[in-house]
Structure 1
Amino acid sequence: MLLRLPTSVSEAQGCLAEGATPVGGATLVWAAWQRDGFPEQAVSLRKVPEARVIGAEELGGAVLLHQVDERVPEVLWRAAAGVGTGAVRRTATVDGNLVGSTLRDLLPAALVLDARAVVLATDGTYETDLTEVLAKRPVLLKLRWRTPLASGYRKLPGEPGGAPPLIVAAAAHPTELRVAVRDGYEVLSETLPRDAPPSQLLDALSHTPLDALPDPAREALREEITTVLSQASNH
């Protein structure tokens, strides 16, 4: 297998046009390749500057999870820090977790940030929402969002061999509160207006699909919302 390492977006487009298979850290595809056979050529974006950016309002798809730090909102770096083991985080990428994984630990964080995706196609780049990213699984160049007033993330302990651990995420924006929960392999999200008192915001959740979550998840969500709203009130 020939691994191609373009150093620009235009070079990466050329690799895709020539049939190269996109690969991030290869943590998810390696076993499948060993079983089914390796592609003739693969392409990694790890040397493309746009895919390696880490900033207050953007994160590159080729960034390794262990490199995600306090430069991004708390909800996102805590999500990255909670993925797998240290060895996994040193090889897995943002793109691989969001696009290639069925667990998608970063998805609740990206949803509450109201993130948009810049994706790479053979004919150029374009910006789209996370719904298209999940449905079409394109090559993720980077995520973009607007800095929230406050955000928080919690991953509840899971049972060995059981369902994926519950994940709770929340972010307060100037006019709205966004929350998301991963329950098993399903991710639920809601957006609420921020102009209501915290008690009313919490009560509003009882009229959404989130009310059907198990008690530990609902309690964790309420605690996270309360904390995030308190932090946002100081802005």
Structure 2
Amino acid sequence: MLLRLPTSVTEAQECMADGAVPVGGATLVWATWQRDGFPDRAVSLRHVPEATVVRPGTLGGAVVLNRIDDRVPEVLRRAAGSIGTGAVRRTATVGGNLVGSSLRCLLPAALVLDADATVLGPDGVYGTDLNEVLAKRHLLLALHWRTPAASGYHKESAEAGGPPPLVVATAVHAGADGLRLRVAVRDGYEVLSETAPCDEGADQVLGALERTDVAALPARAREVVRRQVAGVL
């Protein structure tokens, strides 16, 4: 396998045009390649500046998880810090987790930040939303968001190799129409996201959420949502 390491978006696009397979930290695909065979060409964005940036409001797709620090909101930092072992976090990337993983541990945090994305497609770089990134498995260059007023994150403990643990992410955003809380829940492999006004406190939010798909969650998950909403507010 020939691993290409472009240093610009233009070079990365040329690699993709040559049929190179995008690879993040290879923490998820390596075992599959060992079993099914390695591709002829692969491409990593680890040397592309647009994909390795870490700053308020932007996080590159090739950033390894252990580089995510207090330059990003608490919800995203804690989500990254809860993934795998230290060895995994030194190798796994943001794009690999969001696009290449069925667990998508960073997805609830990205959803409550109301993040959008910059991706690299056959025709160049363009912006899109997370739904399209996940559905079409785009090559992620970076995530972008508005910094929330507050955020929180909860991930239940789980045994390795077992079902995905429950995750509840929350963030409060200030806008022209007042404060709104966004909540995202991963229950099993499914992730749902809802939003509610929160100018009047936790009771207002929880009442609004009970009229959404959150109300269909198991009782244990709804209780965690209640605690996280009260905590972030």
Shared fold, TM over 0.5: yes
- Partners of 1:216 and 1:93 lie apart in 2 by 31
Match of 1:173, SS state, is strand
Are the equivalent residues in 1 in contact too, given 2:78–2:153 (CA < 8 A)?
Answer: yes
1:24-46: CA deviations, max 9, x gaps? Answer: 10111111111111111110000
Match of 1:193 among 192, 197, 200: 197
Give runs of aligned pairs for residues 4-153 of structure 1, distance below 5 A: 4-153=4-153
Give runs of aligned pairs for residues 161-200 of structure 1, distance below 5 A: 161-174=161-174, 175-200=179-204
Are the equivalent residues in 2 in contact too, given 1:14–1:122 (CA < 8 A)?
Answer: no
TM-fit CA distance, 1:197: 3.2
Structure 1 counterpart of 2:199, one-letter code: D
- Partners of 2:197 and 2:205 lie apart in 1 by 8
Are the equivalent residues in 1 in contact too, given 2:53–2:59 (CA < 8 A)?
Answer: yes
- Partners of 1:7 and 1:159 lie apart in 2 by 39
Unaligned runs of at least 5 residues, structure 2:
none
TM-fit CA distance, 1:58: 0.5
1:55-106: CA deviations, max 9, x gaps? Answer: 1101000000111111100000100000011111111100000000000000
Count of residues in correspondence between the two structures = 229
TM-fit CA distance, 1:160: 5.0
Unaligned runs of at least 5 residues, structure 1:
230-235
TM-fit CA distance, 1:223: 1.4
Match of 1:214 among 196, 207, 218: 218
Give the equivalent residue in structure 2 for 1:203. Answer: 207
TM-fit CA distance, 1:123: 1.7
Structure 2 counterpart of 1:149, one-letter code: A
Are the equivalent residues in 2 in contact too, given 1:99–1:134 (CA < 8 A)?
Answer: yes
CA RMSD in angstroms, aligned pairs only: 1.1
TM-fit CA distance, 1:18: 1.1
Are the equivalent residues in 2 in contact too, given 1:170–1:228 (CA < 8 A)?
Answer: yes
1:137-180: CA deviations, max 9, x gaps? Answer: 01000000000000000101224543110000000001321000
Indicate the larger mover: 102-111 or 31-40.
31-40
Are the equivalent residues in 2 in contact too, given 1:156–1:166 (CA < 8 A)?
Answer: yes
- Partners of 1:159 and 1:209 lie apart in 2 by 27
Give the equivalent residue in structure 2 for 1:233. Answer: none
- Partners of 1:135 and 1:14 lie apart in 2 by 23
TM-fit CA distance, 1:182: 0.3
Are the equivalent residues in 1 in contact too, given 2:197–2:204 (CA < 8 A)?
Answer: no
- Per the normalisation by structure 1, the TM-score is 0.94
Distance 1:95 1:160, change over 3 A: closer
Structure 1 counterpart of 2:165, one-letter code: P
Structure 1 counterpart of 2:18, one-letter code: E
TM-fit CA distance, 1:205: 1.5
- Partners of 1:27 and 1:96 lie apart in 2 by 8
- Per the normalisation by structure 2, the TM-score is 0.95
